[in-house]
Amino acid sequence: MSTIQYTRDRISSDPNEMMQKTLPPLNWIRTFEASARHLNFTKAAQELHLTQGAVSQQIRLLERHLGVALFARLARGIALTDEGQSYLPVVQDSISRLAAATSELFGQSQRVPVKIRGSLSFFMSWLAPRIRDFNALYPNIDIRYTSTLWVKDVEADDDFEIRWGSGEWAGHLSQRLSWDSLFPVCSPELLERHPINCIEDLRGLTLIHVMGYEEGWGYWLSLMNEDQIDPAHGIQLDNVASALKMAELGAGIALARTSMAEDALKNGRLIAPLEHQIPASESFYLVRKSGLKLAPDAALFLDWLERELREG
């Protein structure tokens, strides 16, 4: 049995040891890729601006780390072993992916995108078409929208944040984006099965709730003087988009907000069976920290959005 075969068998016989194998230093991997491509340590050294001895040393360290020989040392040069031939395309693919991601995220003269964080539901129903229009006018300005489904990094440097509330947050400036009313919505199919002509007809239907909003079913039903419906009963979800989707599927009746349900109502995916609408005391706002100067692209986005709101 060759030394290489013996080493491979010895390592693979211990699964726990294999699982604990750490990633080799990236400079060793880069040196391997260049050496394998040229099949010449001297040419690899020239490309990497290293000495031929440094390249040979890094390859030896990589082989020792992996426990196999990657190159066969021949009388006239080097050749890849079976292990080296198997490892090379994996390494080249990883380097290619890393280069592409680096170019995408940090290329183009280090352009800084306008960074916005907020509700995924609000983005899908209200903000997305407006960002599409902005992008058509300003194709050279990048937008990066991060949903609040992701945990916010305390060091995040977002330009704006979408918040639902009264518009008053200490240390922040806010621009109101929506003027919402609250009203029930359901699918056309549910309405065929269960006609809704008055508030009493909501009895017996599954209520679809959105957690985190104070003005929910309990609030709406109390203002309608309806005390025969259990406001805690039904399906509880953590975002408006999911609630409206469940309503579209006929799973029950949701309490919609104007800005969030406009598209579904226009396309007939949802129906507002009652005329009873209550103005919401809270709305969506575009929020930014006070006292901080916006980057030029972020300031242009804010000016454009405020103009859209005035003209819309």
Q: Could you list the residue range(s) of the whole structural domain that residue 165 is in? A: 114-179+284-311
Q: pLDDT value at position 152?
A: 55
User: Using 50, 70 and 90 to split pLDDT, how confident is the model at 266?
Assistant: very high
What is the Cα–Cα distance from 64 to 19, expressed in whole angstroms?
Answer: 17
| Res 110: pLDDT | 58
Is residue 34 within 8 A of residue 44, CB to CB? The reply is yes
CATH number, position 191 = 3.40.190.10
Return the higher-pLDDT residue of 46 and 101. Answer: 46
4 pLDDT above the threshold of 50? no
Residues 245 and 272 in one domain: yes
Mean pLDDT of the chain: 87
**92 with 37, same domain?**
yes
CATH code at 64? Answer: 1.10.10.10
Measure the CA angle with vertex 92, ends 52 and 22; round to 5°. Answer: 80
| Assigned token pair, 44 | 């690899």
Give mean pLDDT, residues 208-213.
89
pLDDT tens readout for residues 71-126:
999 988 899 999 999 999 999 999 888 888 877 776 655 568 999 999 888 888 88
Higher pLDDT, 81 or 214: 81
Q: What's the pLDDT at 154?
A: 47
How many domains is the chain built from?
A: 3
